Amino acid sequence: MLHCYIVKLLSAMLQKKKIILGLSVLLFLLVGIFAILIFSKDKSIGSVPSQIATSSTEIRVQFFGDIMLDRNVAKAMGAKGLNYIFAKLSPTSTVFTGADIQIANLEGPFAPTRVKTSKSIAFRFDPKLAAQLKSYGFTAFDLANNHSYDMGRANVAFTRETLKKAELGYFGDELKEGSELTFVTNTVAFLGLHNTYHELNWTKVKQSIDDAKNKAGYVVVNIHWGEEYKRLSNKKQRDTAHRLVDLGATAVIGHHPHVIQEMEIYKDKPIFYSLGNFIFDQYFSKDTQEGYSVELTLDEGKLKDIQLIPFYGVKSQVQLMTEERKTQFLDWFGKNSRLGAYIIINGIISFTSTP
Ligand SMILES: [Zn+2]
Cite the DSSP H helix spans in 187-265.
202-215, 235-246
CA of 3 to the centre of ligand 1 (A): 85
Determine the structural domain holding residue 248 and report its residue range. Answer: 41-350
Q: At what angle do helices 202-215 and 235-246 cross, to 10 degrees?
A: 40
Q: What pairing do the DSSP bridges indicate for beta strands 188-194 and 101-106?
A: unpaired
CA of 291 to the centre of ligand 1 (A): 14
Burial of 267 (0-12, 13-18, 19+ CB in 10 A): exposed
CA of 272 to the centre of ligand 1 (A): 16
Residue 355, domain member (yes or no): no
Total of domains in the chain = 1
Residue 31, domain member (yes or no): no
Residue 195, domain member (yes or no): yes
Residue 10, domain member (yes or no): no
CA of 46 to the centre of ligand 1 (A): 21
CA of 354 to the centre of ligand 1 (A): 35
CA distance 274 to 285: 17
CA of 271 to the centre of ligand 1 (A): 18
CA of 210 to the centre of ligand 1 (A): 27
CA of 355 to the centre of ligand 1 (A): 35
The whole-number pLDDT of residue 57 equals 87
Beta strands in the chain (DSSP E): 59-67, 101-106, 140-142, 169-171, 183-184, 188-194, 218-224, 251-255, 263-266, 269-272, 277-279, 290-299, 302-314, 317-320, 348-350
The whole-number pLDDT of residue 19 equals 56
Q: What's the pLDDT tens digit per position in 62-85?
A: 999 999 999 999 999 999 999 999
Q: What's the pLDDT tens digit per position in 289-347?
A: 999 999 999 999 999 999 999 999 999 999 999 999 999 999 999 999 999 999 999 99
3-state secondary structure 117-155: CCCCCCCCECCCHHHHHHHCCCCEEECCCCCCCCCCHHH
The whole-number pLDDT of residue 54 equals 60
Buried b (16+ CB within 10 A) or exposed e, 206-221: bebbebbbebbbbbbb
CA of 225 to the centre of ligand 1 (A): 8
Residue 13, domain member (yes or no): no
CA of 142 to the centre of ligand 1 (A): 11
CA distance 306 to 303: 8
Q: What's the pLDDT tens digit per position in 149-177?
A: 999 999 999 999 999 999 999 999 999 99
CA of 207 to the centre of ligand 1 (A): 25
Residue 71 contacts residue 120 (beta carbons within 8 Å): no
Buried b (16+ CB within 10 A) or exposed e, 61-81: bbbbbbbbbbbebbeebeeeb
CA of 157 to the centre of ligand 1 (A): 19
Residue 147, domain member (yes or no): yes
Residue 51 contacts residue 186 (beta carbons within 8 Å): yes
CA of 10 to the centre of ligand 1 (A): 75
Residue 109 contacts residue 124 (beta carbons within 8 Å): yes
CATH classification at residue 294:
3.60.21.10
The whole-number pLDDT of residue 130 equals 98
Q: What is the DSSP letter of 257?
A: S
Q: What's the pLDDT tens digit per position in 251-260?
A: 999 999 999 9
CA of 278 to the centre of ligand 1 (A): 12
pTM for this entry: 0.85
Residue 6, domain member (yes or no): no
The whole-number pLDDT of residue 40 equals 41
What mean pLDDT do residues 226-242 have? 98
Residue 7, domain member (yes or no): no
